Each structure stands twice: as C-alpha cells, then as structure tokens.
C-alpha cells in the first residue's frame, strides 16, 4: 500500500470525529524528515499529526510512515486514560527513538500556547509576583 506522501504502507489513523463535532482546530504536525533518527535510518518519509484542544485534550492522531505503529500506542493510551498532551511533554522519552517525535509534538503544542499573548501575560505576571 502506497500513500500519497510515498510512505511505505504504515498508515495508522485514529478517529477525528469528536474533534470535528466539537470544532477543535488545533493541529500539531511534525514530519519525519525533520528528525535526525529517521534521517539516519534512511526512513525520513512520513509524519505524525495530532488534533488537540487548547487545554491539551487529544482528539485524534494520524501517524504515517515507518514505525507508525510504535508511535500511535502512546496516544491511544493517553486518549483512553484522559492524559493530556502536556503530560506527554513532561514524560521522559528515550533518545534517539522514533517515539521521541511524540514529545516533540507536545513541545510544539506548548510553544504555540506560549505564543498566545494571554498566557504570556499571565506567566509574566506570576514571575514578577513571586
């Protein structure tokens, strides 16, 4: 099976229906080609995309490429046990593994949150106060 992005048959999507019905629009995507481990392994074709709320609730995940089946399990557990994306960000991940892409996605989500001026102002206020 070949996908449109030339990924070699490892496509593991997860439901996005809840997010669509609740009009959740935050999508975080990271490409395999941006990660040294996949480049070193010669398997830099693919991506991981996560649909998440602004509070970190994970609504869906699509993993395409080599080791997609290894990446998706962390998100399935998180969705089943109501673990938020910031918990994945704080969890220690082994380096260099493909699963570290999950932590990178969570870090990217947090960076987007930090770019939100309301959150930035709140954090600055708290740092000045304490």
- DSSP letter string, 83-122: --HHHHHHS---TT-TTHHHHHHHHHHHHHHHHSHHHHHH
- Give a yes or no: residue 4 inside a domain: no
- Give a yes or no: residue 6 inside a domain: no
Q: What is the reported pLDDT for 3? A: 43
- Give a yes or no: residue 102 inside a domain: yes
Q: Tell whether the model's pLDDT for residue 17 goes beyond 80.
A: no
CATH number for the domain harbouring residue 68 = 3.30.390.30
DSSP state letter for 32: G
Q: pTM of the prediction?
A: 0.71
- Give a yes or no: residue 1 inside a domain: no
- Give a yes or no: residue 43 inside a domain: yes
- Give a yes or no: residue 48 inside a domain: yes
Range of the domain at 98: 11-129
Please give the tally of structural domains in the chain: 1
Query: Hey, what are 103's tokens?
Result: 């932590």
**pLDDT, average across residues 117-122:** 76
Q: What is the reported pLDDT for 16? A: 53
Q: How does pLDDT run across 51-94, given as a tens digit for each residue?
A: 888 889 998 898 998 888 888 999 999 999 999 999 999 998 88
**pLDDT, average across residues 24-43:** 83
Which residues, 6+ apart, have CB-to-CB distance to 53 below 8 Å? Answer: 22, 24, 26, 59
């Amino acid at each position: 099976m070949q996908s449109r992005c030339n990924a070699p048959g490892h496509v593991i999507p997860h439901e996005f229906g809840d997010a669509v019905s609740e009009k959740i629009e935050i999508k975080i995507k990271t490409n395999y080609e941006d990660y040294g481990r996949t480049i070193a392994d010669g398997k830099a074709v693919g991506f991981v995309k996560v649909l998440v709320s602004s509070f970190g609730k994970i609504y869906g995940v699509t993993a395409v490429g080599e080791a997609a089946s290894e990446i998706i399990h962390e998100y399935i557990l998180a969705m089943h046990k109501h673990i938020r994306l910031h918990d994945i960000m704080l969890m220690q991940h082994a380096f260099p593994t493909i699963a570290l892409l999950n932590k990178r996605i969570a870090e990217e989500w947090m960076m987007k949150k930090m770019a939100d001026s309301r959150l930035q102002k709140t954090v600055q206020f708290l740092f000045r106060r304490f």
